[in-house]
Structure 1
Amino acid sequence: MDKSNHAHIAKAYNEYYGNGLYANRYPKANPNVTDRVLTHTAPLTETSNVLDYGCGNGRYLQQVLEHTLARTIGFDVSEVAIQQAKNQLQPYHFRVSLFSSRNTLNRALLHTSKVDVALLLFGVLAHIEGKENRREVLSWLFEHLKSGYGHLLVSVPNRLRRFWWLQLKVYFLRSPKTKEGICYERGGDSQKISLYYHLYTCKELIEELEDVGFVIRRVSAESFFPEKWVIRYSWLARLDWMLCEILPAWIGYGILVEARRPL
């Protein structure tokens, strides 16, 4: 990944996690996505590996650790998020390894077996600026997955549902810095954090995955309603799950793709 983009993401998310805005906005995992994650990880054994690339404070790793016997690996560029994940997952410390450096992660993976299931969730891929940088991450994950079995679950924001006003602004201003994405802000006036997003269509995400060798197994909506609503209201989460099961992925608030590394 481009170092300047990497540093910007790390700085932004250190602030996002450090001031409590992230935990307040997303206090737990999306039930629909958790269901899909556990579908793939529940059969795993104590010799299996699950990698969460962009694990944040560990909300999906915690679900895997609570419901499976698998060993887990978490990576995030935010050192603050990794420290929060360490605190959150301390009861499972013997089955979890956490990293904020890709170089350190690479060295650790040299001494372990290939990954059975990799997670690239909640727009992590979309925060990476530049198609070649996103391709590098997808290729890296492809190489570390088990041939013929290893699965990747990736979710991204849907261009048809997200940030229409910013998309129009970028289109009419034709800003070179955001020509393939948008920049948006989180937090109040005194805590504004600027984040980059590449908004996807289903077709584009599938093409990027197939381009590095993945076989697409399932395409669905990550959620139909905004995630901050879904994780706060259990009745809405149940409705959201039903809608994600019956509606086409392109209607979703986010897009969730389940892919496999072939033999």
Structure 2
Amino acid sequence: MAMKKTAPRADAKPGASEKVDIGKSYDTYFASGLYRSRYPRPNRRTLRTLEQLLPIEGRLLDYGAGEGRYCLSLAKSHAAHVVAVDISTTARFTLANRARDMNLADRVVICEPGDATYRAEISDDGGFNVALLGFGVLGHVAGRSRRLALLLELRDALSPHGHLVLGLPNAMRRFRAEQARYAPRVHTGEFEEGDIQYERVSDAGTVPLFYHLFRRGEIYADLDEAGYVVERLTSESMLPETVVTNSKALALIDDLACSALPADRGYGYLVIARPRN
């Protein structure tokens, strides 16, 4: 099915204060099959980073795991113990089925944010070796205070030598027209700088989404306030994520381009941080 990005309706008054039901939106997104068609495999740069940071039989917290394009790969290749968290009921159901079909069900614990299973897992004394907030997940959290609270929560769930891996949308490259359209609402305080709303439209229906777009200085400031030290900030991709996850050849070319070009030119940032001791 074809999917396209559309501008918010002229009569809409979304505002960052209006609660977009991200769980419901992503239920529609996943159920339509369109999310998987857009992002059918892991981003090679992100996956390679995770493979380097996660020890064999290590513990991975995949927050916003979706259908498991990262955590299932690592559960298989690294015999990792995975806690996969997602707000979407549809995503959790699909992930459970995929884990079972791959004989990985005993390595993957699936839960939703804040439920009893999640609370028990993140309070484990050993901590996680890696926590992943993958492609755009943190950007779907409305409000800086809520994003900081999540970053703090994940910091406390990490082992002392663990790492946080972030995929963040670059405000210099993403949704420039929407940023201009919402600038007056930023000026009045209805939105925070970098906030937008948009829709994904397909034959399966309309998916309303909130997004917060990031700039380099903001990333460092937020992670510092949440008690992290940034070890590396680079590009997640130069081309759109849907391109590099659909074409292995273009993914290879894009990977080389990311190594050669400044991170601020990237479609998204890939950030590695550790808890500040």
2:32 aligned partner: 19
Q: What 5-or-longer segments of structure 2 have no aligned partner?
A: 1-17
Q: What 5-or-longer segments of structure 1 have no aligned partner?
A: none
**Sequence identity, in percent?**
33
The higher relative CO (CA closer than 8 Å, separation ≥ 6) is in 2
Query: For 1:81-121, what per-residue CA distance to the aligned partner results, in whole angstroms no more than 9, with x for missing partners?
Result: 01111111221111110102413201333356311110001
Query: For 1:1-50, what per-residue CA distance to the aligned partner results, in whole angstroms no more than 9, with x for missing partners?
Result: xxx84x71111111111121211211111112111111111xx133x311
2:234 aligned partner: 220
| Cα distance, 1:253 vs structure 2 | 0.1
Query: For 1:58-96, what per-residue CA distance to the aligned partner results, in whole angstroms no more than 9, with x for missing partners?
Result: 100012112102211100111110111111122111111
| CA–CA separation in structure 2 for the residues paired with 1:215 and 1:122 | 20
| CA–CA separation in structure 2 for the residues paired with 1:65 and 1:167 | 38
In the alignment, structure 1 residue 45 sits paired with structure 2 residue 56 = yes
Query: For 1:187-228, what per-residue CA distance to the aligned partner results, in whole angstroms no more than 9, with x for missing partners?
Result: 226611110000101111121011111111110001000011
In the alignment, structure 1 residue 206 sits paired with structure 2 residue 217 = no
| Cα distance, 1:154 vs structure 2 | 0.5
TM-score by length of 2: 0.87
Alignment of 1:113-132 (within 5 A): 113-132=126-145
1:84 maps to which of 82, 86, 94: 94
Determine which structure has the larger helix proportion and give its number.
1
Checking the alignment, whether the CA contact within 8 Å between 1:162 and 1:253 is kept in structure 2 is yes
Determine which structure has the larger strand proportion and give its number.
2
1:170 aligned partner: 182
1:88 is aligned with what amino acid? R
Checking the alignment, whether the CA contact within 8 Å between 2:127 and 2:158 is kept in structure 1 is yes
Checking the alignment, whether the CA contact within 8 Å between 1:223 and 1:252 is kept in structure 2 is yes
Checking the alignment, whether the CA contact within 8 Å between 1:82 and 1:98 is kept in structure 2 is yes
Query: Residue 159 of structure 2: SS of its match in structure 1?
Result: coil
Q: Runs of at least 4 residues of structure 1 off by over 4 A?
A: 172-177
1:60 maps to which of 61, 70, 74: 70
2:209 aligned partner: 195
State the superposition RMSD in angstroms: 2.0
Alignment of 1:69-148 (within 5 A): 69-90=79-100, 91-104=103-116, 105-111=118-124, 113-147=126-160
Q: 1:151 and 1:188, CA in 2 relative to 1: closer, same or farther beyond 3 A?
A: same
TM-score by length of 1: 0.92
